[in-house]
Homo-oligomer: A and B are copies of this chain.
Amino acid sequence: MRDQSDAVAGSRAQGALLERFRLTRDLSRDLVNGLNEADMTVQSMPDASPAKWHLAHTTWFFETFLLRDQVPGYRLFDERWPFLFNSYYEAEGARMARPERGLLTRPTVAEMLAYRDHVDEAMTAALPRLMERHGDLVEMGIQHEQQHQELLLTDIKHLFSRNPLGPAAYPAGDGAAGADVPLRWITGTEGLAEIGSDGEGFAFDNELPRHPSWLAPHALANRPVTNGEWIEFIADQGYATPSLWLSDGWDWVRREGVCTPLYWRGQGGAWEHFTLSGWQPLDPHAPVTHISFYEADAFATWAGARLPTEQEWESAAQFRDPLSGVQLDRADGVTPHAENKDGAFASLFGNVWEWTGSAYRPWPGYRPAAGAVGEYNGKFMSGQFVLKGGSCATPRGHVRASYRNFFHPHQRWQFTGLRLARSL
């Protein structure tokens, strides 16, 4: 009976994975509806990549690490293309320099889509077999594509923002204004906390191993900082007060002439911001977004607070309902962190990526994944800061408490925001 039920379970898991593979692949295509061939080709800055490149690179990932490496007899769609669509894998050999991705007016979008069809077909055929030993890599390919879906959106947003005509990539929503949620402080765990992936579900290598960490007494804000609060910071000369800023941040502010979050403009006293639906009035109750780490840190200093550490944030997010922010009972019936019952968090997940005060470095005992995919995370562990929680552009099902996003402290074209913290 056991073998049979195993087979059934295996078959169900296969079906589920295949379904997720298809949905993810389809979503990428859906995201470029409404974009023309040029929109999908131009690269507006070295940090960004063309939409077309995202479509091809995610496909290259499956073709390379699964079809080419694990499926005997697979033939590459085009032998010249790996040079075009390898992102940064040194072990995979030479590749186009990153700032040159926007030169690829050929292959065309139609050719890219044919590439996707080719790889999807081969993957679908090979998936049952691949699941036996390489289910982790398939899952990684899906997670990888989800990351690029978010990048595709932020990169298109950046491109359109540089266009003086301010075009819209997608229709605007209903524009219902957010609610005014008063700021409250929620006391966090003090002492030992378990940090890192708990082994339930997929995790990147940088979320491992799970390990104890000692947290000092602290509290976190119940919600992210809002646009309205940021307007106060501006009005109080926040961008012109050097004592609020890290030294590198102050250099950056002066060198770049920064005086608002990215994508803001003042129009006759009223603030507007550029969105994927073009220029829109700013909602004072919505979380501020498109700020750099330097700005986040300066705001926190101005507010008499600080950024949370990664561990404080993660500890708070564990066992929380992502939607309500309310503390959950653990599966084993233990209610952890009883001292934390003083409130619900708003918007922990899926609104803005929240800058933490933690530099992106390995967890104790960290080991990069084997093979070329070992370059996925580990080699970026210098010069960047960790962000937690996920944004409005993050695909559903992609976020988790242990997830470690990371960017350089000056970067702000992602949907980045902040939540205040305090030492107690």
Contact = CB atoms under 8 A, between A and B. Distances in A.
B423 A364 contact: yes
Interface string A148-164: 00000000000110111
B38 A248 contact: no
Contacts of A247: 88, 379-380, 382
A379 B245 contact: yes
Given A105-B160, A250-B379, 12 more contacts: A36-B37, A38-B42, A39-B105, A42-B102, A84-B165, A88-B247, A90-B250, A247-B380, A247-B382, A248-B382, A294-B382, A382-B409
Contact of A359 (B42, B163, B359): B359
A157 B27 CA distance: 36
The complex is assembled from copies of this chain, and their number is 4
Interface of A: 36-42, 44, 80, 83-84, 88, 90-91, 96, 100, 102-108, 159-160, 162-165, 167, 192, 211-214, 216, 218, 242-243, 245-250, 293-294, 297, 306, 309, 357-359, 361-362, 364-365, 375, 379-383, 385, 409, 423
> Which residue, of A105, A293, A357, has the highest number of chain B Cβ atoms within 10 A?
A105
A278 to B, nearest CB: 11
A349 to B, nearest CB: 25
A188 to B, nearest CB: 12
B216 A364 contact: yes
Please provide the 6 A-B residue pairs with the shortest distance between their CB atoms, ordered closest to farther: A359-B359, A216-B364, A38-B41, A37-B37, A90-B242, A38-B105
Given A213-B214, A247-B88, A382-B293, A361 B359 contact: yes
